[in-house]
Structure 1
Amino acid sequence: MTDFTTTSASITPDRTPRRVRHELRFRQLTVKTVQRVTPHLIRITLTGDDLAGFTSLGFDDHAKIFFPDTATGQLTLPTVGPDGPVWPASGRPTMRDYTPRRYDASANTLELDFALHDAGPATQWAEQAKPGDILGVGGPRGSFIVPTGFDWHLLIGDDTALPAIARRLAELPAGARVVVLAEVDSEADRIPFETQAELTLQWVHRNGVEPGLSPVLLDALEAMKLPPGDFHAWVGCESAIAKALRAHLVGERGANPKWTRASGYWRRGAAATHDTHDE
């Protein structure tokens, strides 16, 4: 008699990412606490009645952050129309995309980490922020959920990607294997990570080189010995560097293009950009 029973060990886990859409909402929130985590990272904790129902299911979700007018302190938010945001005649505020680092429904708080890369409006606001200040948050409009059932996981990023890396590490289950390659300016800019997964962590430092100009991420990846097996690779950093890292992973290291997600979280010389490198 032939036994056609399939054992659990032989079942290939579902590795298909899925997208989830969320109701579009715009919230006016209040700064609860401000923490200087490292010399180049400020953590802002927000709260407010509008925060109820906030949803962020993907570790690299992006919420749209709306900053108050620097002259008047007034915060302008759109309303939700049938085709998306509807702006008042007074115009639009300064906006940037940020990853929600942690949402605590029971405490009614939302944490955002601001990487201090330049003297732009987001950095200026974060450095001056104090409890009681207001900030607008829109979305996330959707989540991209990456399964955890790979042989191992690779996360690569600079300061701007630390919140997403922290979220992914926190959600990976015990027994998962993960390699993290993270770029910051110096040893003083390292942050602790919490995870149940088996973590191999390598920090690389720019040592004063302007962000977006240092080759340390690509140099370290090229020198890194990667584990065997099927892996999901995630990259988040300056756009040109993210594209080069993805090209190396797919072209030289055998990464499956369908399991390689690279994003330009920012682009040198440009403001308010977010690039996706799929090819």
Structure 2
Amino acid sequence: MNKKKIRNLKVINKQKISLNMIRVTLGGSSLNDFTDNEIGGYVKLIFEDKNKDKSLMRPYTIRKFRSKEQEIDIDFAIHDKDIGYASLWAKNVKLGEEIQLTGPGSKSMFDLSCKWFFLVGDMSALPAISVNIEALNDDYIGYAVIEVLSEEDKQLIKKPKNFIIHWVINPEPWKKNTKLLEKVLTIKWYNFTPFVWVACEFSNMKVLRNFFKNTKNIPKENIYISSYWKSGLNQEEHKIIKKKDSKNNF
């Protein structure tokens, strides 16, 4: 499949699934080569920057895919602080409007040979976390620590019976804080090595990476960790510091 292929889609549906998250359904015949395996992968939405006469691309997780209808669902976290191109588009878009995207890109899944899992993320990672948890059967155990803006942003996630989800409420995630780490530190660990999956704001990612890598000594092959955004920076600026940081860390 050509991951760089430009696909032209229409907005089929739009719904508010929590206080600060909107789900946009996109559909069209250009999804005819997608498969159910694409759920959890990502697409890159293409926006025109009229001020700079160029296109901007924003990656988003494929939350759901319906092959018969040729539709994908994409969830957008919405808040009024430093709202970006994609969130602003999702907030204002009308049914029938068109958008271009590329993909699908690979999934940030975890190693199912591990006995237990530890997932940590904020609302930007909630769609990916949800997909990962929903892929597990009842043989798996573990924890997820998820930061959301409000109590009304908690979501029902289909999970294994012995998998525990902890919600952290932070109405101002763009301000420097350690709320995710504080909750992570309260979790009782099992007596064997987990697979750790982390995605959140850049500064919080660095703190969590240090904890899992240096305090808990999680080996490289047992961890996926990424920043999805950085407070105060746009996506292009974030990509620059993310690339620089990755050269010195796994």
* TM > 0.5: yes
2:99 corresponds to which residue? 135
> Counterparts in 2 of 1:57-68, with a 5 A limit?
57=37, 61-67=41-47
1:185 aligns to 2:149 (yes or no): yes
1:222 corresponds to which residue? 185
1:17 corresponds to which residue? none
| Aligned residues of 2:46 and 2:100 also touching (Cα < 8 A) | yes
TM-align CA RMSD: 2.4
Identity of aligned residues (%): 27
Q: In the aligned structure 2, how far is the partner of 1:105 from the partner of 1:59?
A: 11
| Aligned residues of 2:108 and 2:224 also touching (Cα < 8 A) | no
SS at the partner of 1:46? Answer: strand
| Aligned residues of 1:56 and 1:143 also touching (Cα < 8 A) | no
Q: Which runs of 5+ in 2 are unaligned?
A: none
CA deviation profile, 1:93-125 (whole Å, cap 9, x unmatched): 232111111111122110000111432222221
- Among 67, 72, 77, the residue aligned to 1:110: 72
Moved over 6 A (4+): none
Relative to the length of structure 2, the TM-score reads 0.86
Cα distance change, pair 144–241 in 1 and its aligned pair in 2 (3 A): closer
1:248 corresponds to which residue? 211
| Aligned residues of 2:3 and 2:102 also touching (Cα < 8 A) | no
Q: In the aligned structure 2, how far is the partner of 1:174 from the partner of 1:36?
A: 30
| Higher helix fraction (1 or 2) | 2
Q: In the aligned structure 2, how far is the partner of 1:243 from the partner of 1:181?
A: 16
Q: In the aligned structure 1, how far is the partner of 2:10 from the partner of 2:48?
A: 12
Relative to the length of structure 1, the TM-score reads 0.78
Q: Which runs of 5+ in 1 are unaligned?
A: 1-20, 72-89
- Displacement of 1:37 in angstroms is 1.1
Q: In the aligned structure 2, how far is the partner of 1:267 from the partner of 1:59?
A: 25
Q: In the aligned structure 1, how far is the partner of 2:222 from the partner of 2:39?
A: 15
> Counterparts in 2 of 1:25-174, with a 5 A limit?
25-54=5-34, 57=37, 61-67=41-47, 92-117=54-79, 118-143=82-107, 145-174=109-138
Q: How many residues align?
A: 240
| Aligned residues of 1:57 and 1:143 also touching (Cα < 8 A) | no
| Aligned residues of 1:212 and 1:241 also touching (Cα < 8 A) | no
- Among 212, 231, 234, the residue aligned to 1:271: 234
Q: Over alpha carbons, which structure has the higher Rg?
A: 1
Range 124-133 or range 47-56, more displaced: 47-56
Cα distance change, pair 99–152 in 1 and its aligned pair in 2 (3 A): same
Q: In the aligned structure 2, how far is the partner of 1:105 from the partner of 1:126?
A: 23
Cα distance change, pair 222–57 in 1 and its aligned pair in 2 (3 A): same
Cα distance change, pair 223–196 in 1 and its aligned pair in 2 (3 A): closer
| AA in 2 matched with 1:148 | L
CA deviation profile, 1:145-197 (whole Å, cap 9, x unmatched): 53311110111000000110111011112311121100011111111101346
| AA in 2 matched with 1:51 | L
1:209 corresponds to which residue? 172
Q: In the aligned structure 2, how far is the partner of 1:212 from the partner of 1:56?
A: 38
